[in-house]
């Protein structure tokens, strides 16, 4: 293992920003893994730390094939992690909405530019990402439908679902989108949590990356085969919205099969505890996402359901 500083950036109010990377093996640039770009992505940083730990052990025991290099970048935005801010602490901008970056622009544009310069030449790219919606998804691989994608490769991770998403305008400034444009096979992996550590899904994510590397012949790693992934198109998900605000009582969990008209959750009056509304499933299917707010407002997406065909 070789730990190195990928780039150093001057900042106006604090010490310099040093972004560290961990290299394993030698040879062609095979896989790059990027973790936390936002200040609340503790789970994503933790997953990368566990991946670094495992790859270090594997390299020591000769389990990384010759002719391949792997780079892991656990955290890009530790300034915001230190102060508990999701976005760049000085101006509230999002690094993962600044790619491919601009080396003479605003601070987050320069961070994105320096990071992209360090990671853009790898054959495969994995970003441990988090959603803009606060909630718990089923662990899955997300691939942007840019026309450059190879969704079949996503099956090699062995996670339960592969989601194919048509990019919106704001997706065009993300790392995954620009990786694909620069001919990297890019994948975003989502686990159950963001600001807190979920050990089980973190280990599932580490195993998924090692399974992917093993199936490509880059590492030697023995594990179970994982899942035969189900391909889901994001636009086919059914959203369940809250009809009013209140205390949210969730009655089902992500990954759980639900039936038509089954009660998924309740909205309680914050002062009296009375049930204001019940959220019912509009279809038979599997819960893909569930919100984790204790208090919700009207028209919040409380659940996303993978509709069962012919239900």
pLDDT tens for each residue of 253-304: 999 999 999 999 999 999 999 999 999 999 999 999 999 989 999 999 999 9
pLDDT at 133: 83
Q: Model confidence over 207-235: pLDDT tens digits?
A: 999 999 999 999 999 888 899 999 999 99
Residue linked to tokens 């790898």: 122
What confidence category does residue 309 fall into, taking pLDDT thresholds of 50, 70 and 90?
low
Q: How far apart are CA 70 and CA 52, in angstroms?
A: 10
Per-position b or e across 49-60, b if 16+ CB within 10 A of its CB: bbbbebbeebbe
pTM over the 0.75 mark: yes
The overall average pLDDT reported for the chain is: 94
- Whether 270 and 252 have beta carbons less than 8 Å apart is answered as no
Question: Beta strand pairing status for 140-144 and 161-165?
Answer: parallel
Would you say residue 311 has pLDDT above 70?
Answer: no
Q: Model confidence over 151-175: pLDDT tens digits?
A: 899 999 999 999 999 999 989 999 9
Q: Model confidence over 60-98: pLDDT tens digits?
A: 999 999 999 999 999 999 889 988 899 998 889 999 999
| CA distances from residue 256 to 196, 206, 250, 259, 269 in whole angstroms, order as listed | 22, 23, 12, 10, 27
Residue linked to tokens 């179970």: 224
What confidence category does residue 308 fall into, taking pLDDT thresholds of 50, 70 and 90?
confident
Q: How far is CA 207 from the centre of its chain?
A: 15
Q: Which domains does the chain have, with CATH numbers?
A: 2-232 (3.40.630.10), 237-307 (2.40.50.100)
What confidence category does residue 180 fall into, taking pLDDT thresholds of 50, 70 and 90?
very high
């Amino acid at each position: 293992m070789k730990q190195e500083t990928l780039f150093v950036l001057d900042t106006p109010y604090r010490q310099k920003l040093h972004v560290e990377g961990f290299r394993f093996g030698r040879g062609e640039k095979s896989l790059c893994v990027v973790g936390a770009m936002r200040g609340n992505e503790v789970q994503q940083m933790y997953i990368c730390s566990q991946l670094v730990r495992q790859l270090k052990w594997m390299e020591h025991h000769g389990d990384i094939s010759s002719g391949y290099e792997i780079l892991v970048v656990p955290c890009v935005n530790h300034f915001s992690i230190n102060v508990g801010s999701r976005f760049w602490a000085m101006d509230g901008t999002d690094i993962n909405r600044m790619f491919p970056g601009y080396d003479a622009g605003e601070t987050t544009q320069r961070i994105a530019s320096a990071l992209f310069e360090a990671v853009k030449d790898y054959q495969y790219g994995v970003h441990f990402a988090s959603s803009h919606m606060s909630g718990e998804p089923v662990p899955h691989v997300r691939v942007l439908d840019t026309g450059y994608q190879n969704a079949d490769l996503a099956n090699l991770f062995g996670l339960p679902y592969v989601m194919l998403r048509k990019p919106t305008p704001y997706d065009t400034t993300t790392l995954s989108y620009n990786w694909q444009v620069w001919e990297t096979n890019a994948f975003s992996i989502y686990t159950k949590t963001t600001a807190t550590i979920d050990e089980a899904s973190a280990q599932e994510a580490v195993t998924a990356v090692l399974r992917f590397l093993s199936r490509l012949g880059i590492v030697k790693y023995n594990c179970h085969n994982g899942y035969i992934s189900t391909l889901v198109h994001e636009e086919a998900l059914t959203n369940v919205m809250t009809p009013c605000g209140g205390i949210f009582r969730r009655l089902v969990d992500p990954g759980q099969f639900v039936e038509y008209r089954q009660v998924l959750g309740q909205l309680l009056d914050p002062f009296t505890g009375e049930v204001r509304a019940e959220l019912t499933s509009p279809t038979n299917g599997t819960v893909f996402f569930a919100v984790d707010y204790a208090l919700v407002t009207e028209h919040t997406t409380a659940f996303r359901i993978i509709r069962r065909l012919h239900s």
